[in-house]
Amino acid sequence: MAYKAPEHYHVKVRVYNNEIDFGKGVAELLRRIAATGSLSAAYKSMGMSSSKAWKILRHAEADLGFALVHGSTGGASGGGTVLTDEGRQLLERYTAFDMAVQEAAERAFEKYFK
């Protein structure tokens, strides 16, 4: 049987200090929070439970050593959730890093398998 090169690949990008807990899912949750101003709207649009959303945020925050989001409770303005400055910076850097890694992986895949 002749060698047949793989047709696809997959690369996961995660950043962390001690526990692997900031990757595509947390980044997408942060993007949706930034877009909607609401943690609830963000996790619901992802089909995620409230407890899961809080769990992944708190684990990432504990490992990274800073808050990713800041929430305010109801009242006249209705409350909401926003990214902290650190959360916004991390999301921007993670997004750029992920893009660079994916582009490098594509070049390497083409070199070795095409």
Residue 77, pLDDT score: 61
In the CATH hierarchy, which top-level class contains the domain 24-113?
Answer: mainly alpha
For residue 72, the model assigns a pLDDT of 75
Mean of per-residue pLDDT scores for the chain: 94
Q: How far apart, in Å, do the first and last CA atoms of the chain sit?
A: 19
Residues contacting 3, CB < 8 A, separation 6+: none
Give dist(CA 78, CA 73) in Å, integer.
7
| pLDDT at residue 69 in the model | 97
Tens of pLDDT along 31-84? 999 999 999 999 999 999 999 999 999 999 999 999 999 987 765 566 799 999
> Rounded to two decimals, what is the model's pTM?
0.89
Tell me the domain boundaries of the chain: 24-113
